[in-house]
Structure 1
């Protein structure tokens, strides 16, 4: 995934989370364009980011929005982040041999009933890793992981999370945006 660029980080706090992403569309060492839509809001409490190939990222986000609408229509309730991550994992796994998708989704959200934070990342084959603290992705993943380990603390406030995500953006020399 390093070939496609990008810097993605999501951090959990005390009943809150922060998302930091860059706005660059990169291929290898070349910046192709600045692109605004790297974080896709599925529901008011659920977001997905797809580090990897740009066209597959958009396509996968639209597919997952479709699955969410289908679930909410059938079940008459909002989809929990856990169910969403399971469906995303199944989608990636089902494509593993016939037409793999070159993305590593990051899923961030709240449980609708408890408002506890949910952080998860998937690999290209759909293998899920759930975290309680923070997740990173994109070509800057290793650098962001080291810096995030230094600055993240349990039960951070929204202001503290914003400040840490901002600090993560400065050393990377990338244009970052925070949600």
Structure 2
């Protein structure tokens, strides 16, 4: 088993019309054993940017603290807020710095740019980024997530439809992955603010 599959995760980022969403499951496990059902994998970096980390739970928390520190340092020096694209580049650099002893995480960055357009990126454990206009996925349920997202995704969805699509894709996917699930959280980022909702999933 890969170390990336040790704790389990399922994360989706998806674009809508002037909005973007990110969803994750809440299970923390040690392979087949469930340890907690409220583990945070998606973190709010600003009102317009969220980061999700799939992978080894200890590295998830370490990278959250490190990224938050570097983001705050940037904003103090530059006297402006960090855009999602710059945040993605910073995260990619932090991962590549440690490529010979990497953090075992595969992050997803979503947000709204200054012009209101959605931004989506995902990367591997050494920070090689991929950018998308529709959706990105990460975690142990990626095969299931890709299938569900390709089936349910439509262009220019509004915030409510985007939430419904993310929720259905996440819940249907984690039902077929033994290492993720036990509920979920969906965050929708719009020009007016962030809407966060919790999902109840199967408990088996």
Structure 2 unaligned runs (5+)?
A: 176-180, 188-204
- Partner residue in 2 for 1:177: 185
Whether the aligned pair in 2 keeps the contact of 1:21 and 1:176 (CA below 8 Å) is: yes
- Partner residue in 1 for 2:52: 49
- Partner residue in 1 for 2:115: 114
- Partner residue in 2 for 1:148: 149
- Compute the displacement of 1:2 (Å): 2.6
2:168 matched to 1:167? yes
Indicate the SS of the match to 2:121: strand
CA shift digits 1:78-120 (9 cap, x unpaired)? 11111111111111111011x2100001111111x21211110
Alignment of 1:11-22 (within 5 A): 11-22=14-25
- Compute the displacement of 1:3 (Å): 3.0
Please give the TM-score of this superposition, normalised by the length of structure 1.
Answer: 0.94
Whether the aligned pair in 2 keeps the contact of 1:6 and 1:26 (CA below 8 Å) is: no
- Root-mean-square deviation (CA), in Å? 1.2
Alignment of 1:124-139 (within 5 A): 124-139=125-140
Whether the aligned pair in 1 keeps the contact of 2:29 and 2:35 (CA below 8 Å) is: yes
Higher strand share: 2
- Compute the displacement of 1:46 (Å): 1.0
2:14 matched to 1:6? no
Indicate the SS of the match to 1:50: strand
Whether the aligned pair in 2 keeps the contact of 1:8 and 1:137 (CA below 8 Å) is: yes
How many angstroms apart in 2 are the aligned matches of 1:30 and 1:134? 30
Whether the aligned pair in 2 keeps the contact of 1:39 and 1:48 (CA below 8 Å) is: yes
- Partner residue in 1 for 2:107: 105
Structure 1 unaligned runs (5+)?
A: none
Indicate the SS of the match to 2:130: strand
- Compute the displacement of 1:36 (Å): 3.8
Whether the aligned pair in 2 keeps the contact of 1:4 and 1:138 (CA below 8 Å) is: no
Moved over 4 A (4+): none
- Compute the displacement of 1:128 (Å): 0.4
